[in-house]
Structure 1
């Protein structure tokens, strides 16, 4: 990933930095959602929508040049501004109540001794931004009370596969090769999943909201009846380093079906809380680099500064209208 990639992503947001374009865009969104008074609502929301995106870009620009000590805080707030812009496209009265303004997640009290970030957990609360965007953007309900570890969450990011592979000597992803309109996986994937090709086909269909035709030959070829999405087709995930889709191999993970935007939010929230309130532990980590947490955290921060805006852009421009 490079500054060129990041700049290219933000350049594509430029269209939205126009009130008239944002108004017509929101009008189209509200029409798709069958929202009444779409003309009035799109007029009222075009500036808030535009300002959320503009405010986010400022946070991300500053995060890119900030020291690691405050980078998670800037990245988290930049990301939440992007999510609020997304919410306005599906919920024209956002924020309707103060309950959706809370973060919607919580972390446990930290032990001062032997604390490990990768083992830390985050718990979903009943109300707040997280619960609201998970339901409105991804139609995911009943997540309150669920707990996810940082290790399980980070394992679902394809760009994080290298440090995990180095540490555990196991692969978390298999690349999908694309040829002539079909994706291909090696036959050996069936052994990894302990499934026949028919069972594997049924399994993938249960995870992905579209039809999949699977054929067994020298490789397993997969034909989808729609376009693979960066946000809506977990456990298929986009690797922006290789610009290819990958299949997560962590089928027993509680995070296996989580959309990647949810993963970035949860990890960023935890890191931002650590940077704000666990100053001693955070400063020691950055200065001493004493354990495995440091390279994982630093690699994630590098990735999320690039991929967070990229995933949001894909959601706004492609995923929302994929069924049109």
Structure 2
């Protein structure tokens, strides 16, 4: 498992003003920003402060009570995302419209409320749509509604929880063939009702990174490891392995960072404004919402910074043309 300590140690390398300026300068030059070096000089401390503030929220979240943990994790993730945005947009925030959350929650029904059935709605302006477009090229989210249960199904580290509580796994692991490739298991082909060629066409179309296809000695299809955590593929940070949804999922295009953002936003709002339901959930654990929320918070505390560090480290692959 990739430890939280290692992830933060890698992020902390950017705390050096010299390193931050060099990094931002290279990013801006790749974006063909006029006066890239000057903009990097102007932005390097803001970049560092976003990372430091984000880390401070995560540190507090790791030691605080569960009741306020979602708020701290959400704001920690926001600051880390802002650092990523500054690495590709030297003028961020160029307008106040990008400072809003960019998501809203529906009015809750107090009776028989279930977190799995709750939804969030993406707004036209705000951080959500802005970082989705700039960092991951995911557009046209305005007005889309996302149900918590469907988003949680795409958190690969929750696959054991789903198997235990729901009796059904949502993810299928791709066996590692060697240090460079993964095998497409027959189980996956059967689950998708596709033959090898059709699966190859589907994944090539859906994945935004180039897939190098091959075959092992037994004729089974393999694909290269360098595609990483690119939808529809999901990287399991605890098992350090690559997974795919067990069935075709309508939200398969969503990047992990956006999924974590949407769930954390909703949990932070519940923690702040639905105090009665939230505290009752924590104290009496009346249904399966509790173990899933608890497990998700543990996962996102490690996965959020991991996704940020991976984005910064592989930034040259993420810059928009």
TM-score range relative to shorter protein: over 0.9
Q: 2:116 touches 2:289 (CA, 8 Å); kept in 1? A: yes
Q: Answer yes or no: is 1:273 the counterpart of 2:273.
A: no
Instruction: Provide the rounded CA distance (Å) in 1 between the counterparts of 2:125 and 2:243.
Output: 33
Q: Indicate the residue corresponding to 2:98 in structure 1.
A: 100
Q: 2:232 touches 2:245 (CA, 8 Å); kept in 1? A: yes
Q: 1:319 Cα shift?
A: 4.5
Give matches, 1:300-311, under 5 Å: 300-311=296-307
Q: Answer yes or no: is 1:82 the counterpart of 2:77.
A: no
Q: 1:16 touches 1:50 (CA, 8 Å); kept in 2? A: yes
Q: CA-to-partner distance for each residue in 1:101-155, whole Å, 9 max, x for gaps?
A: 1000111011110000011011111100001000100111111011111111111
Q: CA-to-partner distance for each residue in 1:156-183, whole Å, 9 max, x for gaps?
A: 0110111111222222111122224321
Unmatched segments (≥5 aa) in structure 2: none
Q: 1:36 Cα shift?
A: 1.3
Q: 1:186 Cα shift?
A: 1.9
Q: 1:213 Cα shift?
A: 1.9
Q: Indicate the residue corresponding to 1:229 in structure 2.
A: 228
The size of the alignment, in residue pairs, is 317
- SS of aligned partner of 1:188: helix
Q: 2:192 touches 2:247 (CA, 8 Å); kept in 1? A: no
Q: 1:152 touches 1:254 (CA, 8 Å); kept in 2? A: no
Q: Indicate the residue corresponding to 1:182 in structure 2.
A: 181
Q: Indicate the residue corresponding to 1:207 in structure 2.
A: 206
Q: CA-to-partner distance for each residue in 1:242-263, whole Å, 9 max, x for gaps?
A: 1111112241x33211100000
Q: CA RMSD in A?
A: 1.7
Specify whether residues 148 and 250 from structure 1 end up closer, same or farther in structure 2 by C-alpha distance, changes over 3 A only. Answer: farther
Instruction: Provide the rounded CA distance (Å) in 1 between the counterparts of 2:43 and 2:262.
Output: 27
Q: 1:148 touches 1:254 (CA, 8 Å); kept in 2? A: no
Pick from 246, 259, 262: which aligns with 2:258? 262
Q: 2:175 touches 2:185 (CA, 8 Å); kept in 1? A: no
Q: Which moved more, 1:254-263 or 1:124-133?
A: 254-263
Q: Answer yes or no: is 1:110 the counterpart of 2:104.
A: no
Instruction: Provide the rounded CA distance (Å) in 2 between the counterparts of 1:153 and 1:278.
Output: 21
Give matches, 1:55-204, under 5 Å: 55-180=53-178, 181-204=180-203
Q: 2:196 touches 2:221 (CA, 8 Å); kept in 1? A: no
Instruction: Provide the rounded CA distance (Å) in 2 between the counterparts of 1:83 and 1:75.
Output: 12
**TM-score (ref. length: structure 2):** 0.95
Unmatched segments (≥5 aa) in structure 1: none
Specify whether residues 310 and 238 from structure 1 end up closer, same or farther in structure 2 by C-alpha distance, changes over 3 A only. Answer: same
Q: Answer yes or no: is 1:243 the counterpart of 2:240.
A: yes
Q: Indicate the residue corresponding to 2:314 in structure 1.
A: 318
Q: Indicate the residue corresponding to 1:295 in structure 2.
A: 291
**TM-score (ref. length: structure 1):** 0.94
Instruction: Provide the rounded CA distance (Å) in 2 between the counterparts of 1:263 and 1:219.
Output: 36
Q: Indicate the residue corresponding to 1:33 in structure 2.
A: 31
Q: CA-to-partner distance for each residue in 1:36-66, whole Å, 9 max, x for gaps?
A: 1101110110000000000011100000000
Q: Which moved more, 1:75-84 or 1:169-178?
A: 169-178
Higher RCO (CA-CA < 8 Å; seq separation 6+): 2
- SS of aligned partner of 1:174: strand
